[in-house]
Structure 1
Amino acid sequence: MASSTHDEANTNGDSSQSKDEDPFIAFGIDFGTTYSGIAWAISTRPANVSMITSWDSAKYHCSDKEKTPSIISYEENGKMLWGYSVSDKKSSIEWSKLCLLEEDDIPNDVSHSTQLQAAQAALKQQKKSVVDVISDYLRQLWKHSIINIRRAIGGQLVDLCRFKVVATIPAIWPIYAQIRMHEAIEKAGILSTRNAGQTILEFLPEPEAAALATLRGISTYNQANMEIGDHFVVCDAGGGTVDIITYTVVELSPMKVKESVKGDGKLCGATFLDERFLEILREKLDQISPDTWKSLEETGALGRIMNNDWENGIKPQFRNTDQHWMIQIPVKGPKRTHDEFRFSDIKFDVKDVQKIFKPIVAEIKHLVDNQVKAIKDKYNKEPKFVVLVGGFGRQPFLFTEMQDALNRRNGPVGKIEVLQSQGAEPISRMSYGVKCDRVPWNAKDHDIRDKEWSDIDQAYKAVNQTSWFVRIGETIPVGDFISKGFYTDLTHSISSQSTELIYSTSATPPKRCDETVKKLYNLHWSTVPKFSKLTTWVNSKGRTIRRFCFDTKMTSNGVTLDFEIVYKGQVVASKNIGIDYGHCGALASNCN
């Protein structure tokens, strides 16, 4: 539990002592600038509200780990869309959380941001107050969560349980913003009267909640030699904002903390990485054709690039190593000709990605450095840890840059250690991917042993190649999926099709199927595309070639990996694989 002060609000209902003995469900509401979610746990032990902050001894039933975008849309027909159901962002409202602040309390960098200005304009256009918009969004999120909980444990048990709700808020928020958030939660119906008794609401600073969860989750108390009086800086790096706050340990078991120095924050979250990626991508595309960008937007290909190549590719994997990424850009012609599948590869090398990451990471390092200086000035001692939490906080480049900066500042004496939250998601102890052939040949990038002439492409191709979903040491996101797009060219009909899944125990998974790459499973398709209905293109020799495109998806539930092959929206092959880390398979390079 935390020793900081929390605002508590009770709704109508019986507050008798006997009710405290009833089973209860504890909810954690994280309404974020860009993404939001609700976690829950059920317990039958006597409850007081403060225990919810550490989730002590509760029987975990944490579902809804997947967050959904903090976006809502009011349609002309009166229908309300929210989260992932919003497809047209032109009529939607995003970043509403920042609008809870008065103009004078909004930092300069935030007040001039296009995101905040767009949110304010959308509220004005819709003639909605920010409290009403947030309450509408939270109402939908709450309903979705309650439906899922009732499915998981049964409606009768839910009806018997009292509700305890903890909502996280930015550490640097003024009290009036917290009051407005309370009003939004109440209007959303979350505090409505229930037969089981009163619903209790508390607010908890976001960095504090994240720090308690992180320190407990990674079991660092004993190993890290944490002592009463130690300070640790929490850097909560989310999608929009980055909040920094420092706590002092006042008790170890159970862990209690109090705020050490005044927190800080800035609008420098992961969303700004997305914007910089799009800027560089557009610069590269404009060098090919000024119409390419518009074509990608109109066909929806830009969204696929953002999801597959950036969000689940470059962004979480970037470590500042000498690596590059090739992005295949489908350029669609005005007619359904072979131009529809003429691909131009766009290369992002390490310098390109550095341009994306370094300015944003530099701002975060500056925030942390100011916090460390404030602790030194006030207590004449350094913090023991800097704890990185939040979605962006799990990025490996941010971790190494932060640790390097602190090492340069302090040297070998008085080292401040960086801890990085991995949430509830497992860390991959192997690399998992797909074997692929006929990759465009590049003498610089490929092994000469893999060079083969392709009659179809009338060009040299690299065979025996790999494409990795997740690498050793990376987080396997629970509930989320990683998807990669592939295509196959044919000159004649086929009766069967398969996709080979591979794995590697090498610290750095190779680009080709060498001796470290082994076969995981061969996925046989249940149906194959009809040859006569495939899209055609014509090679340089005038030969008609037929092509079909498909996606390979990997999803983790924390214990197993689910692989699916999706063709035209239909799953044509799937396999649930329980991971055996000691398994040794046949060499993938020898498996046909």
Structure 2
Amino acid sequence: MAQRPTLILGVDLGVSTSSVSYRLLRHGHCADKIAPLALIRLRGDLTGSVPSELGSGPSDTWGHGVTPQHTRLKFLKLALVDPEELPPDPQPPSGRPGLVQDALNKIATEDSDTGLVAEYLKQTVRSLREAIEESGILAFGRNPATLNLIGDTEAAASTVRDTVLILDAGGGTVDIAAYTLGSQTPMAIDECIPSEGRFIGAVFMMEAFDSFARQQAQYHMGPDYGAVDQAALETEIEEAWETVQNVPASVLTRGTWSYWLDIQRLDHAPAPPARLAGHDIARTLRTITDQVVEFTLKQAYAVEVETGKRPKVVPR
């Protein structure tokens, strides 16, 4: 009897972004040539003040980039709380990055149950049902089902027939692991060097930008900074961050691009906008991105020392 395909289902719950994907691994085919059958991504803000947005369609757009051609759904997602909502702590975390680091440390050291609440498209459910039937996972009489749980980095390594360096740049942490795919049938994935993670994820870049923007607003307003509507400023900074994320690094560093931050006063008196120069934004973000580059090179060198050759790199 021919070996049935293997069903791979992936759920990635991140600090700021999560995803659900699945694929059928048909034995005898090159794993790296099998396109995912379906991919749905969801995105929510870190404060949970607005519903997350989910889109499913032919492209990889999601969140605020979901187009009218996509099916658009909304749902609530567990989110980090604001420091002001926490009970008194003798040693409170430092701002939102501190909250992220504290929460991830607790998840790593304590048992916890995690659930993903979402509404799936009928087409997605139908495709997944067909994949389940083809895999034979429910055919207990003819082909007993087995379930193996592996980490997402190991799953990414299964698509490369070589030693591979997995760079998982998440919302809270950047994790780097190196694996070697020993065999596909049965699937055997061996760790090449010990995995390592650092708290240099997207939330820390966002915090750096937030601090920079507030400093510029304070410098711009001078002694009148106390009259600034802080709630409106926070909203404006969040909108600026959404824009900055879509600006290529080559444009930021060119020296001609700027973002003008709208300033609103509590007394509604007019106030000129504050300029956030692109090259200053790039310099601010490099305090984090340079750490990611240094971390990646360090792990790649460790793999080269261990195996004698440079690994392939797979961004996650």
> What is the TM-score when the length of structure 2 is the normalising length?
0.63
Shift of 1:277: 0.7
1:131 Cα deviation from its structure 2 partner: 2.2
Distance 1:82 1:204, change over 3 A: farther
Question: Residues 234 and 246 of structure 1 are in contact (CA less than 8 Å); yes or no, is this contact kept in structure 2?
Answer: yes
Residue 279 of structure 1 deviates from its aligned partner by: 0.9
Pick aligned residue for 2:276 from 347, 350, 359: 347
193, 202, 208: which is aligned to 2:148?
202
C-alpha distance in structure 1 between counterparts of 2:166 and 2:131, whole Å: 37
Matched, 1:158 2:129: yes
* SS of aligned partner of 1:204: coil
Instruction: Look up the match of 2:21.
Output: 39
Alignment partner of 1:27 is 2:9:
yes
Q: Is the 8 A contact 1:285 1:292 kept in 2?
A: no
Shift in CA distance, 326/311, structure 1 to aligned 2, threshold 3 Å? same
Q: How many residues align?
A: 271
Task: Note if contact 1:33-1:70 (Cα within 8 Å) is conserved in structure 2.
Answer: no
Deviations 1:373-402 (Å, cap 9, x if unpaired)? 4334444x23154x1502xxxxxxxxxxxx
Match of 1:330 among 240, 244, 262: 262
- Alpha-carbon spacing, 1:208–1:276, altered in 2? closer, same or farther (3 Å): same
Which amino acid letter does the alignment assign opposite residue 304 of structure 1? Answer: E
Determine which of 128, 131, 145 is the counterpart of 2:112: 131
> Within 5 Å, which residues of 2 pair with 1:492-511?
none
Matched with 2:166 is 234
Q: Offset at 1:239?
A: 2.2
- Partner of 1:327, secondary structure, is strand
| Residues 1:113 and 2:45 are matched in the alignment | no
- Deviation per CA, 1:129-181: give whole Å up to 9, x if none: 8624x22xx2x13xx2xx31x235649x83894497xxxxxxxxxxxxxxxxx
Find out whether 1:310 has 2:244 as its counterpart: yes
The 1:254/1:69 distance shift into structure 2, 3 A limit, reads farther
Kindly indicate which of the two structures has a greater share of residues assigned to strand: 1
In 2, Cα distance between equivalents of 1:246 and 1:233: 4
Give 1:369 deviation, angstroms: 3.5
Code of the residue aligned with 1:294 in structure 2: it is: Q
* Of 364, 367, 371, the match for 2:292: 364
Q: Which has the larger radius of gyration?
A: 1
Q: Which amino acid aligns with 2:42?
A: K
Residue 389 of structure 1 pairs with residue 315 of structure 2? yes
Distance change >3 Å, CA 32–CA 235, structure 1 → 2: same
- Structure 1 residue runs of 5 or longer lacking an equivalent are 1-16, 76-80, 94-111, 124-128, 165-190, 216-227, 391-592
Q: Relative to structure 1, is the Cα distance of residues 363 and 61 closer, same or farther in structure 2, using a 3 angstrom cutoff?
A: same
Cα deviation per residue 1:16-66 (whole Å; 9 max; x = unaligned)? x99x86x9964221222432110134x6x9x78xx99948757x53231x3
The one-letter amino acid paired with 2:239 is: R
2:200 to 246, 264, 268: 268
- Matched to 1:34, the amino acid is S
Shift of the alpha carbon at 1:199? 7.3
Deviation at 1:88, TM superposition (A): 11
Cα distance in 2, alignment partners of residues 274 and 57 from structure 1: 35
Distance 2:156 2:132 in 1: 26
Following superposition, the deviation at residue 344 of structure 1 comes to: 1.0
For 1:354, give the aligned amino acid.
R
1:264-298 Cα distance to aligned partner (Å, 9 max, x none): 22111222111111111110001123243604247
Amino acid at match of 2:37: H
Counterpart residue number, 1:172? none
Residue 326 of structure 1, CA deviation: 2.0
C-alpha contact 2:12 2:20 (8 A) present in aligned 1 = yes
Change (3 A) 1:352 1:238: same
* Identical-pair percentage: 17
CA RMSD of aligned residues (A): 4.9
The answer to whether the Cα contact below 8 Å between 2:259 and 2:278 also exists between their aligned partners in 1 is no
Aligned match of 1:259 in 185, 191, 194?
A: 191
Counterpart in the other structure of 2:89 = none
**Structure 2 contact 44–77 (Cα < 8 Å) conserved:** no
SS at match of 2:39: coil
For 1:53 and 1:131, locate their aligned partners in 2 and report how far apart those are by CA, in whole Å: 36
| Contact 2:100–2:172 (CA under 8 A) maintained in structure 1 | no
Aligned-residue offset at 1:365: 3.2
2:232 counterpart of 1:296: yes
* Corresponding residue to 1:68 among 8, 28, 43: 43
Runs of 5+ unmatched residues, structure 2:
54-74, 84-96
**SS at structure 2 position matched to 1:265:** strand
Letter in 2 for 1:292: V
Q: Which has the higher relative contact order, 1 or 2, with Cα contacts under 8 A spaced 6 or more apart?
A: 2
